[in-house]
Amino acid sequence: MQIIRSVAELESAIENFKKQGKSVGLVPTMGALHDGHVSLVSKCRKENDIAVVSVFVNPTQFNNKTDLATYPRDEKKDAALLESKGVDIMFAPQPEDVYSEEEMSKTFDFDFQGLDKVMEGLQRPGHFNGVVQIVSKLLSFVKPDKAYFGEKDFQQVAIIKLMVRTMGFKLEIVQCPIIREESGLARSSRNQLLSDDERKNAANIYRVLKESVNFVPSIAPAELTQKVVDEINACDGLQVEYYEIVNGDTLQKISSWDDADYVVGCVTVHCGKVRLIDNIRLK
Ligand code: AMP
């Protein structure tokens, strides 16, 4: 596996592979890799001649400086894991390798067509601008045939698909299911920051989400929303930031189960100092 840090080197390696007619897959990550990432990497490895994984804690998508400072990093371990999974290139740049000073300091401009006005977009102003900024850069460096994203970041996938459509990228976006710990807790790099007790408490998030499916369609969306919020908040150490039942395509809240064929319950919960997100398909 090649570990590449400069954009020029990455582009030249990719160009070489493309000249040989090889297909290229990309998995963008922020490192501190876990089984959730591995599921994307394995799919990418299987479906493409060349598998590229980026490991980059993108500063422009952090609206909270403490979150950026405490974000777990372990490049050596990540490199060993990716090597063992047969990855061809790990792209691990420093911020100055991908951004000019101006790009670092200015909010990236993008027309989200309203997709940033709900859930994560509302709670983390500028977050998705940074996500679109880095993913569009990675797509233009790597020009992959396929790129892999996890459904755990549900709103992110919707926004990346919009970005691909509106910015004219030619590739397939592959959406991958949420990988969970045995307890049901969605795997996340931030889980490392939980104490043993917090980890146990956090397992209640998925327990409540899973139970919520049984109430569709007998309870109206607004009532189910209140029920999920109350049940999670009743658990030790958990505080819901938002829970929304949305149309899975438009991310807009639904008021009746007949409003959409594809419906997802999306939640963000604070567990101690850690902010955890999860979601479940309700219809
Ligand atoms: P991150 O490193 O958190 O930016 O995640 C990189 C990619 O891995 C994103 O597309 C995430 O949605 C995906 N991902 C993270 N956690 C999981 C998980 N538990 N299951 C599936 N995909 C995940």
Same-domain status, 160 and 263: no
- Residue segments in the chain with a per-residue pLDDT below the cut of 70: none
Ligand 1 centre from 101 Cα, in Å?
Answer: 28
Within a domain: 139 = yes
Among candidate residues 176, 209, 235, the one where a domain is terminated? 176
Helix (H, G, I), strand (E, B), or coil: what is residue 93?
Answer: coil
| Residues near 184 by beta carbon (within 8 Å), at least 6 away in sequence | 203, 205, 206, 207, 210
Within a domain: 269 = yes
Same-domain status, 59 and 167: yes
Pocket test for ligand 1, best of 153, 178, 275 (most atoms within 8 A of CB): 153
Q: How far apart are CA 117 and CA 128, in angstroms?
A: 10
At 218 the pLDDT is 98
Residue nearest to atom 11 of ligand 1 (CA): 150
Residue nearest to atom 6 of ligand 1 (CA): 29
Give me the amino acid identity at 95: P
Atom of ligand 1 at shortest range from CA of 180: 19
Residue 248 burial by Cβ neighbours in a 10 Å radius (0-12, 13-18, 19+) = buried
At 32 the pLDDT is 97
Active site residue ranges:
37
Same-domain status, 30 and 137: yes
pTM of the model: 0.97
Q: How far apart are CA 149 and CA 156, in angstroms?
A: 8
Are the C-beta atoms of residues 72 and 190 closer than 8 Å to each other?
A: yes
Same-domain status, 146 and 11: yes
Pocket test for ligand 1, best of 38, 39, 42, 152 (most atoms within 8 A of CB): 152
186 lines ligand 1 (CB under 6 A): yes
Sign of CA dihedral 8, 12, 13, 15: positive
At 256 the pLDDT is 98
Q: How far apart are CA 129 and CA 56, in angstroms?
A: 16
Same-domain status, 50 and 140: yes
Sign of CA dihedral 66, 136, 278, 107: positive
Residue nearest to atom 13 of ligand 1 (CA): 150
Within a domain: 194 = yes
89 lines ligand 1 (CB under 6 A): no
Same-domain status, 163 and 266: no
Domain count, the chain: 2
Same-domain status, 155 and 205: no
Ligand 1 centre from 218 Cα, in Å?
Answer: 32
Same-domain status, 110 and 159: yes
The CATH number of the domain where 104 resides is what?
3.40.50.620
Within a domain: 183 = no
181 lines ligand 1 (CB under 6 A): no
Within a domain: 57 = yes
Within a domain: 29 = yes
Among candidate residues 176, 211, 244, the one where a domain is terminated? 176
Same-domain status, 137 and 208: no
Atom of ligand 1 at shortest range from CA of 186: 19
Domain, as residue range, for 271: 189-281
Ligand 1 centre from 223 Cα, in Å?
Answer: 30
Sign of CA dihedral 263, 35, 153, 244: positive
Ligand 1 centre from 30 Cα, in Å?
Answer: 9
Same-domain status, 265 and 196: yes
Within a domain: 19 = yes
Within a domain: 184 = no
Among candidate residues 176, 201, 230, the one where a domain is terminated? 176
End-to-end Cα, the chain, rounded Å: 42
Are the C-beta atoms of residues 189 and 210 closer than 8 Å to each other?
A: no
Model pLDDT for residues 60-101, shown as the tens digit of each residue: 999 999 999 999 999 999 999 999 999 999 999 999 999 999
Ligand 1 centre from 27 Cα, in Å?
Answer: 9
Same-domain status, 147 and 210: no
Helix (H, G, I), strand (E, B), or coil: what is residue 39?
Answer: helix
Same-domain status, 113 and 47: yes
The CATH number of the domain where 245 resides is what?
3.30.1300.10
